[in-house]
Amino acid sequence: MKHDKAIRNISYIKSVTSTNDIAKKSSEAEAVFVADEQTAGKGSKGRSWQSRKGNGLYMSFLVRPRIEADQIPGITLMVAVVVCNAIERVCGTKATIKWPNDVLIEGKKVAGILTESIFGDDGVERVVCGIGINTNQRFSGELKGKAASLKIRKKSQKMLLCNKVVSSFFKEYDAYLGNGLKFFMPEFRQRSAISGVVTIVEPNTQSTGELVGFDDMGAIIIDIDGEKRRFIAGEISLRGENGYV
């Protein structure tokens, strides 16, 4: 299905547990769910995502791509590029990416992406990609140095941001299905906020090395004592020398 026409299947909901959860349960072929607030917003690695009304844009995309499981992390990287572009176009603020799923402004996290998938007998059945963007929030304490928020003056600007994310998502999703992640990696690399020594945190081990770059499958490559190691996005955290990244 090509998305050259405006997608009509968008549901705006006042309050929901999590837009990812309703997207996962939906019987639609493709859909977008946008909520004013989430009562049980989910972040990555089992964390929660604070989703009070007026404090963010909370949205999830449901798609059914015919792809292999190892191509799913690539959707998150593609969406990170989409979110950066939408923020820049609507708010005029430069955005960068902390591999694989964080969008930053001046080194602080402004948005996160949570991609979840459901598998059937024939492999990938559906993919739900949730996006949370902080708006009009003030942070204190530890969060002040780590989190950022977009200043949204009018409701219409938030709608504009939402519409921009929706239209670019489907445009880029078509490009992703047609050309693969390779097509996005040059922009992803350009927008990457990470440099120098990084630590990859896996459930049972940590690996520290110098960042080499990202391959065309979206994996991160680290030089550990002269040996190049490749890590794919998944249950991995990344820590850098400087501040948040």
Which of 71, 101, 135, 192 binds ligand BTN (CB under 6 A)? It is 101
Which own/partner contact pairs does 151-154 have at CB distance under 8 Å and 24+ positions apart? 151/91, 152/91
- CB-based closest residue to ligand BTN: 112
Query: What sections of 94-207 are H helices per DSSP?
Result: 155-179, 185-191
Nearest to 244 by CA among 86, 102, 47: 102
Contact between 130 and ligand BTN by CB under 6 A: the answer reads: yes
Q: Which of 32, 44, 81, 245 binds ligand BTN (CB under 6 A)?
A: 44
CB of 44 to ligand BTN, least distance (A): 4
Counting contacts by CB under 6 A, is residue 49 touching ligand BTN?
A: yes
Member of 74, 100, 132, 218 binding ligand BTN (CB under 6 A): 132
Q: Which stretch binds ligand BTN (CB under 6 A): 13-21, 172-180, 182-190, 192-200?
A: 13-21
Q: Among residues 22, 39, 32, 70, which one has the least CA distance to residue 234?
A: 70
Q: Is there binding between residue 112 and ligand BTN (CB under 6 A)? A: yes
Q: Are 10 and 31 in contact (CB under 8 A)?
A: yes
60 binds ligand BTN (CB under 6 A): yes
Provide the CA 117 distance to its chain's centre, in angstroms: 14
CB closer to ligand BTN out of 18 and 71: 18
Output 130 or 218, the one with its CB closest to ligand BTN: 130
Nearest C-alpha neighbor of 30 from the set 177, 179, 176, 170: 170
Q: In DSSP terms, which residues pair with 112 in a beta bridge?
A: 102, 132
Question: In this chain, which stretch among 17-25, 64-72, 138-146, 196-204 interacts with ligand BTN, using CB under 6 A?
Answer: 17-25
The correct pick among 31, 32, 41, 127 for binding ligand BTN (CB under 6 A) is: 41
Sheet holding 206-214, edge to edge: 227-231, 220-224, 206-214, 197-201, 237-240
Residues that bind ligand BTN (CB under 6 A): 18-20, 38, 41-44, 47, 49, 58-60, 101-102, 112-114, 130-132
